[in-house]
Amino acid sequence: MPDRLSATFESLRTQGKKAFVAYIAAGDPDFEKSLEIMKTLADLGADILELGLPFSDPLADGIVNQMAADRALQSGMTTPRVLELIRRFRESHETPIVLFTYLNPVFTYGFENFHRDAAAAGADGILLLDLPPDEAALNSDLAIGAGLKHIRLIAPTTPPERVKLLARSSEGFIYALSRTGVTGAHGAPSANIATLVASIKQHTDVPVCVGFGISTPEQAAMVAAAADGVIVGSAIVKQVELHQDSPAAAVRDFTAPLIAATKGA
């Protein structure tokens, strides 16, 4: 299996550049438009795509991403259809894909089977929002997750000992939250990002990307100065919500300045 995530971060490091990670809900507003958005983001220069697996009870998400998941579900998206979406994208693009999901859809599909089938479809990593690594180790049903790199989430409120545990068990990259709360662009990133990133990097060489609340080029540049990558989600998803007839064009116009700011252009 190609290690697209490691290759991407290594290439960026040698260029002195930071990663731009773009989140969208898989299948929002429908399958074909979602595929077009993925291709547009990749062609625009997004280094990693984060695909949200549509779920009916997304507790960690703000209203923008909740509505995106609902639109995707209403359009007929299922877990197998998300894997088909990835397969279709892989016909033309090699941009790494990370699945952003809750445990329930993965467990329902079959934990081991999901990891195998998602990797075979072309996914590279997975961020399971509500499955702590120490809990997973206690459940044999959740022990076999080969094929996908397991990305960890670290918040500003995570205790130091837990930061150490999460950092050392993370693969691909670490998703550091710029602030507490649910997803969304309603709160600006914290000014303490550099301190948070430094505290994580004490324990790992895995790249640290920062997300939550980033919606302007200025915010993207600020985060890029302190972290290995910038994650933008709700602000992109909002463009899909506002322009459901032609979401790819709206996403392109909105995201291009954010990518340029992240890259220092």
CB 121 within 8 A of CB 86: yes
Amino acid of residue 29: P
pLDDT above 70 for 250: yes
Bridge partners, 51 (sequence order): 24, 99
Q: What is the pLDDT of residues 65-105, one digit of tens each?
A: 999 999 999 999 999 999 999 999 999 999 999 999 999 99
pLDDT above 70 for 10: yes
Residue 28 has a pLDDT of 98
Query: Average pLDDT in the 224-229 region?
Result: 97
Query: Average pLDDT in the 5-11 region?
Result: 98
pLDDT above 60 for 19: yes
Residue 62 has a pLDDT of 84
Residue 77 has a pLDDT of 97
Residues labelled as active-site residues = 50, 61
* Rounded Cα gap, residues 36 and 41, in angstroms: 9
Q: How confident is the model at residue 61 (pLDDT cuts 50, 70, 90)?
A: confident
CB 123 within 8 A of CB 99: yes
Residue 183 has a pLDDT of 54
Residue among 44, 155, 25 at smallest CA distance from 99? 25
Q: How confident is the model at residue 134 (pLDDT cuts 50, 70, 90)?
A: confident
Q: List C-alpha distances in Å: 13 to 6, 20, 27, 82, 86.
A: 10, 13, 32, 31, 26
Classified as helix, coil or strand, 142 is helix
Residue 192 has a pLDDT of 81
CB 254 within 8 A of CB 234: no
Q: How confident is the model at residue 29 (pLDDT cuts 50, 70, 90)?
A: very high
Query: Average pLDDT in the 129-153 region?
Result: 81
* Rounded Cα gap, residues 231 and 209, in angstroms: 7
Q: List C-alpha distances in Å: 41 to 28, 45, 49, 89, 152.
A: 14, 6, 8, 12, 24
By mean pLDDT, which of 34-38, 73-77, 118-122, 156-160 is the weakest?
A: 156-160
CB 111 within 8 A of CB 145: yes
- Residue 188 has what DSSP assignment? P
Residue among 161, 144, 129, 156 at smallest CA distance from 58? 129
Residue 60 has a pLDDT of 73
pLDDT > 90: percent of the chain:
80
What is the edge-to-edge ordering of all strands in the sheet holding 149-150?
149-150, 125-128, 97-101, 48-52, 19-25, 229-232, 208-211, 174-177, 152-154
Q: Tell me, rounded to whole angstroms, the distance of Cα 210 from its chain centroid.
A: 10
The tokens describing 33, both together, are: 């438009």
SS3 string, 89-124, reads HHCCCCCCEEEEECHHHHHHHCHHHHHHHHHHHCCC
What does CATH list as the number for 4-263?
A: 3.20.20.70
Query: Average pLDDT in the 208-220 region?
Result: 94
